[in-house]
């Protein structure tokens, strides 16, 4: 069975981003760093010895950060979901991921970090509430969620149960 690894394309911040992310998530580590050589300089244009890729894990999930240059940029078409057990975890990731940048919260579970990567900070109970068997409760929960910038799980549960 092949192992699937996510590759994040950065201009030149691969090493910095890998250190940033591994500093936030538990059970995370940088595994190795590969540097550019003179070989292929006509294609990549990077200085020999500069970082090409950084292999790292976030809570056991493998990632590769690539310094590929300014050709591609992140957008909301891909986002990473962080399933949180409670409001404290939601608050932690909501505070840590945007740290160090001029980051605007998007809508309810989405935010972007300083590198432009989109994250969904999602309480694991939320999909259960929104897809619950009582459609009126689910609708009330969805209505309140759509008006939040950051998830407030207690408020969602309160509206759901009323």
Render pLDDT for 92-146 as a digit per residue (tens, 0 to 9). 999 999 887 666 666 778 888 999 999 999 999 999 999 989 999 999 999 999 9
Number of domains in the chain: 2
Domain shared by 88 and 58, yes or no: no
Residue 31 lies in a domain: yes
Q: 0.75 exceeded by the pTM?
A: yes
Q: C-alpha angle 36/39/42, rounded to 5°?
A: 95
90-98 contacts, C-beta under 8 A, 24 or more apart: 90/121, 90/123, 90/150, 90/151, 90/153, 93/24, 93/119, 93/121, 94/121, 94/150, 96/24, 97/24, 97/121
Backbone φ and ψ of 10, nearest 5°: -115, 160
Q: Are residues 145 and 93 in the same domain?
A: yes
pLDDT reported for residue 101: 67
Whether residue 150 lies inside any domain: the answer is yes
Is the domain of 85 the same as that of 138?
yes
pLDDT above 70 covers what percent of the chain? 96
Are 47 and 99 members of one domain? no
Residues 86 and 112 in one domain: yes
Q: Residue 62 domain-assigned?
A: yes
Residue of 53, 62, 55 whose CA lies nearest to 5: 62
- Same-domain pairing of 41 and 87: no
pLDDT score for 42: 87
Please check whether residue 73 lies inside any domain of the structure.
Answer: no
The CATH number linked to 49 is 3.10.180.10
Segments forming the whole domain that contains residue 132: 79-161
pLDDT of residue 100: 77
Same domain, 98 and 138: yes
**pLDDT tier at 150 (50, 70, 90 boundaries)?**
confident
Q: Same domain for 83 and 142? A: yes
Residue 19 forms part of a structural domain: yes
Residues 113 and 134 occupy one common structural domain: yes
CB 117 within 8 A of CB 129: no
**Amino acid 162: pLDDT:** 86
Residue 94 lies in a domain: yes
């Amino acid at each position: 069975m092949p192992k699937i690894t996510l590759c994040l394309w950065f201009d030149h911040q691969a090493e910095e981003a890998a250190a940033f992310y591994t500093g936030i998530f538990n059970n995370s580590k940088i595994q190795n760093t590969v540097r550019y050589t003179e070989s292929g300089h006509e294609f990549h244009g990077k200085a020999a010895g500069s970082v090409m890729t950084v292999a790292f894990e976030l809570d056991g999930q493998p990632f590769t950060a690539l310094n590929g240059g300014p050709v591609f940029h992140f957008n909301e078409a891909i986002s990473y979901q962080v399933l949180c057990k409670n409001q404290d975890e939601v608050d932690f990731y909501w505070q840590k991921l945007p740290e160090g940048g001029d980051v605007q919260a998007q809508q309810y579970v989405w935010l972007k970090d300083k590198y432009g990567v989109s994250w969904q900070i999602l309480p694991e109970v939320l999909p259960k509430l929104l897809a619950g068997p009582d459609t009126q409760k689910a609708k009330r929960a969805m209505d309140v969620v759509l008006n939040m910038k950051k998830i407030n799980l207690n408020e969602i549960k309160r509206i759901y149960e009323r």
